[in-house]
Amino acid sequence: MTSNEETVQPTGETFSGVLTEALTRLLDKTAYLIGTYGEAFLLGLLIIVVGWITAVLLRALATRLLRAAGLDVVADRIGMRAYLERHDIGGRPSTAIGWILYAAVLYSALVLAFDQMGLYAAAGFLRTAAALVPHVLVVFILLLLGLILGKLARNVSAGGARLLGLPAPDLFGAGARTGVFLLALVVALDYLGWASTTVLLGGLGVLLLGGLGSGLLFALSARRLTESLLARGFLTATYRPGDRIRIGETEGTVLKIDATVTRIKAETGEVVLPNRRLHDSRVEVLPRDPSA
C-alpha cells in the first residue's frame, strides 16, 4: 500500500500544479487585456450610452418642435400623408424626421465607440453601409418616379384608346405603365453600374417603341379628343346633371359632364360616353324622374 500511495501522490501533485499554472496564466492574460483594453472598452460603452440618450432626447425634441411648427398640418393639406397611407406607409412626417435624427446620432456614436474600442472592422462596416445610403435613396426616387409617371402614362394611353374606340383600352394603359417603369429600372441599374450595354440598348428600344406608340396613339386620337373638348360647352349649356336622356339604346340620368366624356347613370350601371358622340347624335330628353 505504501508503494501505491507513493505512486499516486506525485500524479495528484502534477495535476494540481498544471491546473494552478493554467489558472494563473488565464488570470494574467485577463489582467493584461483589462489593463490594455479595459479603459478603451469602458469609454466605448460610455460613448454608446451617451449617444443613445442623446438620440432619444433629440428625437423627442425634434418631433415636438416640428409638430408645433405645423409640419404635419402642411403635409395633410398638400396630400402627402394621404398618399403615404395609400401606399401602407403610416406615421406622421414629424415622427419620421425624428427617427431619422435618432438613427444618425446613434450611428455616429457607434462608429466613434468602435474606433475607440479598436474594433476597426465593425466601424468600417458601418461606414461602408452609410456610404450606400445615398445610392439607395437615388434608386428609390428613380423607381418612385417610374411608378408615378407610369400611372400617368397608363391613364393617358387608356383614355386615348377609349376615345379611339380601340378594344381592350386597359391593355394599352398597362403596356404604357410597364414601359415607363422598365425605363426607370434601367436608369436605376445604370446608376448603380449594374446595367450592361445590352440592357441599356434594350431599355432605349423600349423607350423608343413606347414613344412611337404613344405618339401614334395621340395622333390618331387628337382629332376626336379635340372634338370632345369643344363639344363640352354645347353639352353644359344644353344638359344639366339630373336630366334623363336617351341616346341610341342607352337611357339614363346625366351625372356629370367632364372635359371629354359625359357620365350617365343607367339601369345597368354607369355609362361613359365621349362628348362628341352626344354632340353629333340624336339625343332624346325624357321627363325627369319624380322620385329623384
Q: Is the pLDDT of residue 188 over 70?
A: yes
pLDDT digits (tens, 9 = 90+) for 15-27: 676 777 777 777 6
User: Which of the two residues, 203 and 92, has the higher pLDDT score?
Assistant: 92
CATH number assigned to the domain with residue range 132-238, chosen from the 4 options 1.10.3470, 3.30.530, 1.10.287, 1.10.10 = 1.10.287
Q: How far is CA 228 from CA 155, 238, 250, 252, in A?
A: 17, 15, 19, 20
Q: Is the pLDDT of residue 30 over 70?
A: no
How high is the mean pLDDT of the chain? Answer: 75
The architecture of the domain spanning 239-292 is Roll (2.30)
Q: Is the pLDDT of residue 214 over 50?
A: yes
Would the pTM of this model clear 0.85, i.e. be above it?
no
pLDDT digits (tens, 9 = 90+) for 218-271: 555 566 667 677 777 888 888 888 888 888 888 888 888 887 788 888 888 888
CA distance 259 to 99: 45
CA distance 149 to 184: 9
Residue ranges, CATH 1.10.287, the chain: 132-238
Give the model's pLDDT for residue 7: 46
What is the pLDDT confidence band of residue 152, given thresholds at 50, 70 and 90?
A: confident
Give the model's pLDDT for residue 53: 92
Residue ranges, CATH 2.30.30.60, the chain: 239-292
Burial classification of residue 207, based on how many CB atoms lie within 10 Å of its CB (0-12 exposed, 13-18 middle, 19 or more buried): middle
* H or E, element range at 244: strand 244-247
The DSSP 8-state label assigned to residue 88 in this structure reads T
